[in-house]
Every structure is written in C-alpha cells, then in structure tokens.
Amino acid sequence: MDKTFVMIKPDGVQRNLIGRIISRFEDKGLRVAAIKFLRLDEEMARKHYEEHVEKPFFPGLLEYITSGPVVAMVLEGRAVVEEVRKMMGATNPKEALPGTIRGDFGIEIGRNIIHGADSPESAQREIGIYFGEEDLVPYQKAEECWLYE
C-alpha cells in the first residue's frame, strides 16, 4: 500500500475536529498506520516547512504551527496521496469545495485545518520527520477485499 503523511493542525485540534477528520479517512477505506499527538518545536517546524523558510509568510506560519498541539499520522491506501489531497480540498478554504475537509471546516488560508503531503516523495520525507520505521504498524483490514480489486 502507498503511504502519505497527514497533520491535523492546531486549529483543527482546538476546534475538536480530530475524530471527525480521522473518521472521513477511515470511512473512505484508508488505513491509519501510525498516529501521534504532539506539539511541534521550532526546529521540527522548520524541518517540516523547509521549502517555505525564506518566504514572507513563514514567520506567521511558524508561530501558528507551534502554537498548540497537532495530530501527525501516516495513512495507507492505493493512490493515497492523491485521495487525501482531494479529500482535504484546496489550500485556501475559500476555494475548497463543499464536502472537502477545508471546504466544510476552513475559513481562512492561515487556519486551514489540515496538512497533507503533496507527492509520494514529500510523504516519505515528512513521515521520516515524525515517525521511525518501528512506529508504523503493518496490518490488513478485513474490509480491504471489498475496497480493492
């Protein structure tokens, strides 16, 4: 199965959306392979968002992402990066379609509830920031024979 990294950001945690968001992924048939509740420190945040460090919005992003706890997780499924990206919706909640996580729960781009890796390469890099190989729990769900041909 393919893997991706997903993070419920501080606003999603503070707004009590953890269960509702995870349920959407599980309802889709995706597997949770690892999950962690933590608070990012500045070093971890800089490593995660390294491609944005020089951008003008980075100081605000850094302050926001370290402002409270997050939920980091690894999800598994076929084409899981693409599936999760569709389920999250556009980065800017004002452009996200109803039925997506950001479309249903987000208001502003700076408080957009959730992060998901944008490619298999990013997923692998981001998973490595938060989880070791020993943290990933391999298993098969009984329903998978009804999900995949």
- Residue 88 CA to residue 117 CA, distance in Å, equals 11
Query: Which band of pLDDT confidence, cut at 50, 70 and 90, is reported for residue 122?
Result: very high
Domains of the chain: 2-135 (3.30.70.141)
- Amino acid present at 50: E
pTM: 0.95
DSSP code string of 11-37: HHHHTT-HHHHHHHHHHHT-EEEEEEE
Calculate the alpha carbon distances from 138 to 1, 19, 74 in Å: 10, 22, 11
Q: What pLDDT was estimated at residue 149?
A: 87
Of 61, 112, 120, the closest CA to residue 128 belongs to 120
DSSP designation for 38: E
Model confidence pLDDT, tens digit, residues 40-63: 999 999 999 999 999 999 999 999
The reply to whether 115 belongs to the active site is yes
Q: Which of 115, 116, 127, 131 is catalytic?
A: 115
Long-range CB contacts (within 8 A, 24+) of 61-65: 61/110, 64/9, 64/10, 64/110, 64/111, 65/9, 65/10, 65/40
Query: Which band of pLDDT confidence, cut at 50, 70 and 90, is reported for residue 100?
Result: very high
- Residue 106 CA to residue 94 CA, distance in Å, equals 8
Say what percent of the chain tops pLDDT 70.
100
